[in-house]
DNA sequence: GGCATGCTTCGGCCCAGACCGAAGCATGCT
DNA sequence: AGCATGCTTCGGTCTGGGCCGAAGCATGCC
């Protein structure tokens, strides 16, 4: 295909108000369901479905199934950069105002909770982000891997890498409230266990919610550079 | 207007094959006439006219009249960046292959010639680019200005800034063959005169064409950092 | 002035595609 | 199993806008 035609096709996908609204809603890296995206675009589910299929076919969006939901997010950072460039030309400053948060009502639960055997919520996502940013883990949709630097870091935390295969050991899991990935698999479980052992977090009785202790705030800041304001 | 709507509108403008082809043809910063743009897009002049009007109204294109021609170019570097970002996502590498050159048939004349009292062609554009890149002049569509650094540089070349108003002194002029701006006005005339005085260029008899001498190649490289391969 | 050229405006044709209602799968909950 | 929920596919309507022919201005050349 001609480069002109390819460019026009991609731009035309962004050039529809409904699709633009959906893409805009995904600009912060979160993943949203088809129904939610239909809502922000002000169209019915079936229309949104068609749009999302086209965006995915063109490689602008990536889709991930989780139960009976389908989570959509921008396929690559290049897509986000493209959208920013278009908004720049369009003249409107990109308003960083996040849309209203959808998810668990309980604020504490949004902040930190367990997901099966690992940590989720803002805390879980922050840990995943920090480790990815530091090159300690490499995350992909289908799996992840712990790097050499990551193994050394885990040792320093008191976690020994007894895991067999490194890939299964580090599995990304889509976060319910944050709509971003956190660490699951053997790695996620080990990190979670260690955080409890160190007294950085403690459970709220009869709930999945966990609270970050004072010692935890300091320890997390020290170990991961995380600031959970 | 909502930021979504503005983004969609801008993207939709790029999302038409004919408009995309025209924008693509302008990616290297040259300015083309409406007729030429119609040609590259494979549409008639009247259709192209409509497209160009819309692109200009949206601020993607800038128009400049020169005689009975209307030259169009990308309005800002931000537009070029946007187009590159879209092409990146579209997957095709932006091919830097320039379209076939339109303009003066005579190669020597394309290379360097006089335009009234100043230098044009590749040489003229190269000088303008070099001085702009070094912050010696600041160019705008309607006029330009010599900076303090520029005045010092001109002094070192043996040109005294006797001009009255600095703005009229430095006027950008759209180059015929290069389709980019070169320096006109008092500054352009002074530079041209000085180049002749220094023996850097000499006229081809009965022609607007000028030739760069061996001394000129060295002098231009030294003074402007220009390499006219 | 008269003619050629470059560009724009006007009017009308026509098609891609955005939209929704209804129906069809798939998954999870009880 | 039965029902609810989330999403997709199918079919049909309708409008926005891309396109050209013809005509109208503006500019430059002889």
Q: In chain B, what residues touch A94 (CB-CB under 8 Å)?
A: 3
Cβ-proximal residues to B86 (8 Å cutoff; 6+ apart), any chain: A7, A10, A11, A82, A85, A86, B14
pLDDT tier at A116 (50, 70, 90 boundaries)? low
- Look at residue B144 and tell me whether its pLDDT is greater than 90: no
Residue of chain A with shortest Cα separation from B27:
A4
Least Cα distance to A212 among A119, A146, A135, A101 occurs for A119
Q: CB of A170 within 8 A of CB of A186?
A: yes
pLDDT tier at B164 (50, 70, 90 boundaries)? very low
User: Chain B contact for A56, CB < 8 A?
Assistant: no
pLDDT tier at B142 (50, 70, 90 boundaries)? low
CA A65 → C1' C22, Å? Answer: 26
CA A57 → C1' C28, Å? Answer: 28
Q: CB of A71 within 8 A of CB of A33?
A: yes
Tens-place pLDDT, residues A91-110: 744 444 334 344 454 677 77
Query: pLDDT at position B76, please?
Result: 82
- What is the nearest CA distance from B34 to chain A, expressed in angstroms? 18
Establish whether the CB of B225 is closer than 7 Å to any nucleic acid atom in strand D: no
Domain positions in chain A: 3-90, 107-224
* Average pLDDT score, chain A: 81
Q: What share of chain B is helix, strand, coil (3-state, %, to 5)?
A: 50, 20, 35
Query: pLDDT at position B106, please?
Result: 64
- Look at residue B176 and tell me whether its pLDDT is greater than 70: no
Stretch among B54-58, B92-96, B191-195, B215-219 having the lowest mean pLDDT: B92-96
Q: Identify which of A78, A81, A91 has the shortest CB distance to residue B6.
A: A91
Establish whether the CB of B50 is closer than 7 Å to any nucleic acid atom in strand D: yes
- Classify the complex by whether its ipTM is higher than 0.90, answering yes or no: no
Q: Identify which of B16, B85, B89 has the shortest CB distance to residue A60.
A: B89
- Look at residue B227 and tell me whether its pLDDT is greater than 70: yes
Q: In chain A, what residues touch B62 (CB-CB under 8 Å)?
A: none
Measured between its terminal Cα atoms, the distance across chain B in Å is: 50
Strand partners, A64: A71
Q: Which of residues 162-221 of B touch strand C (CB under 7 A)?
A: none
Does the A3-90 domain belong in CATH 3.90.420.10?
no
Establish whether the CB of A51 is closer than 7 Å to any nucleic acid atom in strand D: no
Nearest nucleotide to B53 by CA–C1' distance?
A: C8
For chain B, give the percent of residues with pLDDT over 70: 81
Q: Which of residues 17-36 of B touch strand D (CB under 7 A)?
A: 17-18
Query: pLDDT at position A81, please?
Result: 80
Tens-place pLDDT, residues A153-193: 998 998 876 554 455 566 667 676 676 778 877 888 889 88
DSSP state of A116: T
Tens-place pLDDT, residues A202-228: 887 666 778 899 999 999 999 998 887
């Amino acid at each position: 295909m001609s480069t002109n035609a390819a460019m026009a096709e991609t731009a035309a996908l962004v050039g529809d108000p409904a699709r633009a609204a959906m893409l805009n809603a995904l600009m912060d890296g979160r993943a949203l369901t088809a129904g939610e995206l239909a809502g922000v675009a002000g169209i019915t589910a079936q229309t949104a479905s068609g749009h999302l299929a086209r965006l995915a076919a063109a490689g602008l969006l990536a889709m991930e199934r989780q139960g009976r939901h389908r989570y959509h997010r921008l396929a690559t950072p290049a897509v986000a950069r493209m959208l920013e460039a278009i908004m720049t030309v369009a003249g409107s400053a990109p308003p960083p105002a996040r849309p209203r948060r959808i998810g668990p009502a309980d604020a504490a639960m949004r902040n930190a909770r367990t997901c099966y055997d690992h940590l989720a919520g803002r805390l879980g996502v922050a840990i995943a982000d920090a480790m990815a940013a530091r090159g300690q883990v490499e995350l992909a949709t289908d799996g992840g891997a712990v790097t050499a630097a990551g193994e050394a870091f885990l040792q320093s935390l008191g976690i020994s890498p007894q895991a067999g295969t490194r890939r299964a050991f580090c599995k990304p899991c889509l976060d319910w409230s944050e709509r971003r990935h956190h660490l699951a698999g053997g790695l996620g479980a080990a990190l979670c266990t260690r955080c409890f052992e160190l007294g950085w977090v403690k459970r709220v009785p009869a709930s999945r919610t966990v609270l970050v202790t004072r010692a935890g705030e300091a320890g997390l800041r020290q170990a991961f550079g995380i600031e959970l304001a």
